[in-house]
Structure 1
Amino acid sequence: MKTLPATTPQAVTLCLSPVAVWQMLLARLLEQHYGLTLNDTPFSDETVIQEHIDAGISLADAVNFLVEKYELVRIDRRGFNWQEQSPYLRAVDILRARQATGLLKRNRISAAQ
């Protein structure tokens, strides 16, 4: 007799705490767009993340505050010219990070159904 695991990958994703979600997204966004790790920022401390969440600060605003405070430069853009392109995160950057980390699943409906 075969037994099924108690949790599925989707169930695990749904059970993540807000702090864990922020950590996953921050790690992806900071590394991809600025070449940083969580340990390079105050967000290495879970308490700092929780304080931001409790204060109602969005993930984008939290990262963009760091960008402004430390004059961070995005490393992910081709033909980068610091005078022409904004260093700030946009909603699409966060959506792409959600998709890349598995936090955003697309419901794909095939034409055959």
Structure 2
Amino acid sequence: MIFALALGACAATSSEMRRAEEAYDQARFDAARTWLVDLEDIAPSMDEPMRARYFYLRGMAEYRLGHRLEALHYLEVAHEIAGENGRGLREEQRDLLARTRAELEPVDPLSHRPPPAAAD
């Protein structure tokens, strides 16, 4: 019985992650963020690849919404979980993660805040 409940919870988590990924891929960043916020309490129990994807998507959704400090936080966590090999992330996600982290890296060594967005 407990196994069935755990399996059901895992399937629900995977389904919700798919919805968040689909929303992100469709540039519906608010919707993706909403799905991901709902999954936040479950994230620690996800397997490593899914957890890396969760934090990557959460960081990129925050970035696309202009929430640079939040984006930096979640992308740093994604990088830490994925490691140098990018476990759980596709190649294009690994590349975008590296570029976005570099853009958000604080310039002031005494600050944890990313630099402001470049004016278009």
Same fold (TM over 0.5): no
- Bigger relative CO (Cα 8 Å, ≥ 6 apart): 1
Larger radius of gyration: 1
Superposition TM-score, scaled by structure 1 size: 0.28
Superposition TM-score, scaled by structure 2 size: 0.27
